Amino acid sequence: MSDKQKALVFILLASVLGGATQAVIKIGLVSIPPLAFAFIRFLIAGVIISPFLLKTNFFKDLKQLIPFSLLGTINIVFFILGIKTTTATIGTLLYAGVPLLTAIFLFILFGDRLNQRKKIGIALGFLGVVLVALLPVLEKEVKFSGDLLGNMLISMGVVSWSLYMAYSKKKLQSFSPFVVTSAFIWVTCIGLFPLFLIELTFYPNWWQKLTFSGALSLSYISIISTIIVYLLNQYAIKHGGSILASMQFYLLPIFAYLSAFFLLGEQLTTGLIIGGILALLGVYITTKK
């Protein structure tokens, strides 16, 4: 199996497993405050992977990976705050802009040039992402579209994650996918701790109202969406490059819609469909050789 074929397998697996992430998180946020959810998510993931780090030079490597990993941490903070008020489907569709922005950052940072076709793809994809983000303003019915603040917070997370994707390929030349993923998990966990303590003053004793569905949501996100999906993403970058790996955001809306439909009862509006098609068409054109 070629490197590209391996990357496509990793992308498909990450899309299938990660497609339900936004919907499952929204279920958990019903009974768990957003920053508490994020901190405990990464704490659980960190504890699970810790025994496997004993055979690596993780603590030595961590110093070099902290600044890079913080880009992923910033994405998590913006996402968890934004998804609280917007919808699972829009959250995923906004992340369809990651391949577009990743291509731009690769050009700016490392000189990876784009041909005319890819520029057109970036323009189309960006237009679609903007349309999705501004749906609450453009539509009279805002119930499904969430609110502008939530969409803007997630959009800032998209920018941060795109930078993380752009730098990942370079980091994987020196570190294994497992070490890169582990650094991201622990840096995010430590970075979220102060925010978790601050939020605790506003939501004291929230765990007393924790529901069974909330606990299941936290478990799924900690193990599947955090450890497995992020690890698959790094392996996809290692074997196929940052732009090819980011194509999982081309597939995620499909699985996210199915998850949101069955778990949350969300429906698609015409404006959202148009924006989603433009975003996905832009990704396809940009990544097509």
Q: SS3 of 98, please?
A: helix
Provide the residue range defining the domain that includes 87: 3-287
Give the 3-state secondary structure of residue 254.
Answer: helix
Q: pLDDT tens per residue, the chain (289 residues)?
A: 778 778 878 988 998 888 788 778 888 999 999 999 999 999 999 999 999 998 888 888 898 999 999 999 999 999 888 887 777 667 767 887 888 888 889 988 888 777 777 677 777 777 776 666 565 555 554 444 567 788 889 999 999 999 999 999 889 999 999 999 999 999 999 999 999 999 999 999 999 999 999 999 999 999 999 999 999 999 999 988 887 788 777 777 667 666 666 666 666 666 667 766 777 676 667 556 6
- Whether 19 and 252 have beta carbons less than 8 Å apart is answered as yes
At 132 the pLDDT is 63
Q: Which residue type, as a one-letter code, is found at position 18?
A: G
User: Other CB atoms closer than 10 Å to residue 163's CB: what's the count?
Assistant: 20
| Contact assessment for residue 246 and residue 9, using Cβ atoms and an 8 Å cutoff | no
Q: For residue 245, what are the contacts with CB-CB under 8 A and spacing of at least 6?
A: 7, 10, 11, 165, 168, 233, 236, 237
Look at residue 261 in the predicted model and tell me its pLDDT: 66
| The two structure tokens encoding residue 122 | 């970036």
Tokens (6 digits) for 198? 């601050």
Distances (CA, A) of 25 to 22, 90, 150, 207: 5, 14, 14, 16
pTM for this model (two decimals): 0.83
Q: Which of 287, 268, 265 is nearest to 277 (CA)?
A: 268
Q: Rounded CA gap, 186 and 49, in Å? A: 10
Q: What is the pLDDT of residue 246?
A: 82
What total of structural domains would you count in the chain?
Answer: 1
- Position 138 scores a pLDDT of 56
pLDDT at 277: 77
Instruction: Return d(Cα 82, Cα 34) in angstroms, integer.
Output: 9
What per-residue confidence (pLDDT) applies to 142? 45
pLDDT of residue 226: 95
| DSSP code at position 95 | G
Structure tokens at 246: 């980011």
